[in-house]
Structure 1
Amino acid sequence: MEGIVRAWVDGWVVSRGAAPPVVQPWGWTIDVGTESQVTRHVWGSVGGDVDEAAVGEVARAVTGTGVWLKVCHDPAVVGGWLGAGWWVDPEPGHLMTVPLTGAGEAPDERPSLPAGYRLRTWSRGGVVRVMIAAPDGSWAARGQIAPTGATAVADQVETSQAHRRRGLGSVVMRTLQRAAAEQGAQTGVLAGTEAGRALYETLGWRVVAPLTSAKFVGAERAGA
């Protein structure tokens, strides 16, 4: 399972243009470099194999805001290991995978858009990006995927509130999956929200581990 987490780390770094991950005894540290996410610490172990003492030690050492912890364990459990100043996302995340077989689809099986919508796909810096524009030219949906050899990480998949329930998310995901498969990737990996889980599961993705997201916001904000 650590191999899947490492694949997620490697693809996410490429997708976001973050610094190369620094190996730690418990996982990896990634410098991201934005105000909302300066650095993230990602644990390589999953579930009951996560070392509570190591999580607590790293959490206590954090003093600046904007640092995130990503742990493949139940938020209700991980939250109890963190000290003052930590905000824990109450909505569980999900680490998910899928076999990438989309490149073998026949042309008439490829996803089609509702009338008037426009799909654009391009690649830059090793990341494949997809955008769907609405009939009036406004933004409707997007997503990106970073192939890194045998695996590819899907990331930042979004659909505008005004254009949901029209199958756009499915078009984005199937287009990304096919593009990654055409580059030789065999397995897709993503970190999804509970809201996105239903879409991904209809496309063959399965949950392999829960995911906790925690952010250091400072004692005053955490206690507000």
Structure 2
Amino acid sequence: MDRTVRAWVDGWVLSRGAAPPVVEPWGCTIDMGVDGHVARHVFGAIDEDVEETAVRKVAGVVTGAGVWLKVFRDPTVVGGWLGEGWWIDPEPGHLMTLPLTTTPEPTVPDGFRLRTWSRGGVTRTMLAAPDGSWAARGQLAPTGATAVVDQVETSPQHRRKGLGTVVMHTLQRAASEQGAESCVLAGTPAGRGLYESLGWTVTAPLTSAKFTG
């Protein structure tokens, strides 16, 4: 399995409280046990190394709704390998990485409140708006030399205010303090611009597909 993919899997499992990954010849299977997200099959190769035969084989034996595939290749390619019953996320994601160097101290906009805490091995940070409502959040799961950034979100009412940068700087500093040397995340097209402005680079495209039955 590609080292970056494995680091992301290990951190994602910790971040989401999922079952430990079951290693397969083509990648791994992760049980979630949630309605609409029962399990996910994550392929361990990226780009041209992803084998069409492996994807077809794994997808072909899925019969239950709510099972996901995570394939690190362009969806225009992966889509042609899947049969009926598969929904493909129209917004392809990206596997992104960042070598940890010096991260600036977060600058919280006036009136907003930042709080960060750790529990169960996961560090979470949040920003509350001046009126006390939720403004932004994110979390971090360290797995040794690599830390996984996960579930970074900003309220639609508070975008374009630099809150995403505050969240990312807070998590990156926490990763460094916990001994990580690099970070990895699976980002959406909406977040890619923010991450790249902070020095993150794209390692591979990410196709997310769900079996709907």
Separation in 1 of the partners of 2:37 and 2:4?
Answer: 23
Q: How many Å apart are 1:36 and its aligned residue?
A: 1.9
Counterpart Cα distance in 2 of 1:28 and 1:159: 31
Match of 1:72 in 2: 72
Contact 1:94–1:191 (CA under 8 A) maintained in structure 2? yes
2:57 maps to a residue whose letter is E
1:222: which partner in 2? none
Q: How does 1:1-224 map to 2 (within 5 A)?
A: 2-102=2-102, 105=103, 109-218=104-213
Q: How far, CA to CA, are the matches of 2:74 and 2:110 in structure 1?
A: 42
Match of 1:209, SS state, is strand
What amino acid is aligned across from residue 157 of structure 2 in structure 1? A
Offset at 1:153? 0.4
Identity, in percent, stands at 73
- Tell me the distance in 1 between the aligned counterparts of 2:25 and 2:38: 21
Extract unaligned runs of 5+ from structure 2.
none
Read off the aligned partner of 2:169 and give its amino acid letter: R
For residue 60 of structure 1, report the CA deviation from its aligned partner. 1.1
Q: Is the 8 A contact 1:13 1:19 kept in 2?
A: yes
Distance 2:92 2:79 in 1: 12
Q: Secondary structure at the match of 2:79?
A: helix
Tell me the CA shift for residue 92 of structure 1. Answer: 1.6
Q: Deviation string for 1:28-81 (max 9, x for gaps)?
A: 000011112110000001111111111111111111111000000000000100
- CA-CA distance at 1:15 after TM superposition: 0.2
Question: Amino acid of the residue matched to residue 127 of structure 2?
Answer: I
Please identify which structure carries the higher strand content: 2
| Separation of aligned partners in 2, 1:39 and 1:100 | 31
Aligned-partner Cα distance in 1 for 2:8–2:118: 19
Cα contact 1:101–1:178 (8 A) shared by 2: no
What is the RMSD of the two structures over their aligned residues, measured on CA atoms?
0.9
Please give the TM-score of this superposition, normalised by the length of structure 2.
Answer: 0.98
